[in-house]
């Protein structure tokens, strides 16, 4: 059974709309992350959270907003979507910030 659940698996959106990517982990971890992989680019770190607090933000745009309603949830809200936002977004978690990462299967977002 997957321990890190990302929903949906695929998402198609129109330019200018807003979407929320869901991530829940059942590993009892205290740190959660978002990564993005665009076509032909390396996986790129976006955010890290520890005990539901933002620890690191490498995303230039404020259109990307993580939301942590519970300790084991870290959703990603994306507003004013652009075609360049098309990518696979991976959620990850670790016991603490500097431990081994475990990844979800990703949400593939296509913005038309």
Partner 1 sequence: GDQVEQSPSALSLHEGTGSALRCNFTTTMRAVQWFRKNSRGSLINLFYLASGTKENGRLKSAFDSKERYSTLHIRDAQLEDSGTYFCAAESQGGRALIFGTGTTVSVSP
Could you say whether residue 101 binds partner 1 (CB under 8 A)? yes
Residue from 92, 93, 109, 111 touching partner 1 (CB under 8 A): that is 92
Which one, of 99, 101, 96, 88, lies nearest residue 6 by Cα? Answer: 88
**Which of residues 15 and 99 has its CB atom nearest to partner 1 in the complex?**
99
Number of Cβ atoms within 10 Å of the Cβ of 50: 17
Residue from 55, 67, 82, 83 touching partner 1 (CB under 8 A): that is 55
Could you say whether residue 99 binds partner 1 (CB under 8 A)? yes
Token pair for 23? 């991530």
DSSP β-ladder status, 19-25 and 102-103: unpaired
Nearest-Å Rg of the Cα atoms of the chain is: 13
Q: Which residues bind partner 1 (CB under 8 A)?
A: 2, 4, 35, 41-45, 48, 55-56, 58, 88, 90, 92, 97-106
């Amino acid at each position: 059974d997957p321990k890190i659940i990302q929903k949906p698996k695929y998402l198609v959106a129109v330019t200018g709309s807003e979407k929320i990517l869901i991530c829940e982990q059942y590993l009892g971890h205290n740190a959660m992350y978002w990564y993005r992989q665009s076509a032909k680019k390396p996986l790129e770190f976006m955010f890290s959270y520890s005990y539901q607090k933002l620890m690191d933000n490498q995303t230039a745009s404020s259109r990307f907003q993580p939301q942590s309603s519970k300790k084991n949830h870290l959703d990603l809200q994306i507003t004013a979507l652009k075609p360049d936002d098309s990518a696979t977004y991976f959620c990850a978690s670790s016991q603490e910030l500097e431990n081994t990462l475990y990844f979800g299967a990703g949400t593939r977002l296509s913005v038309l």
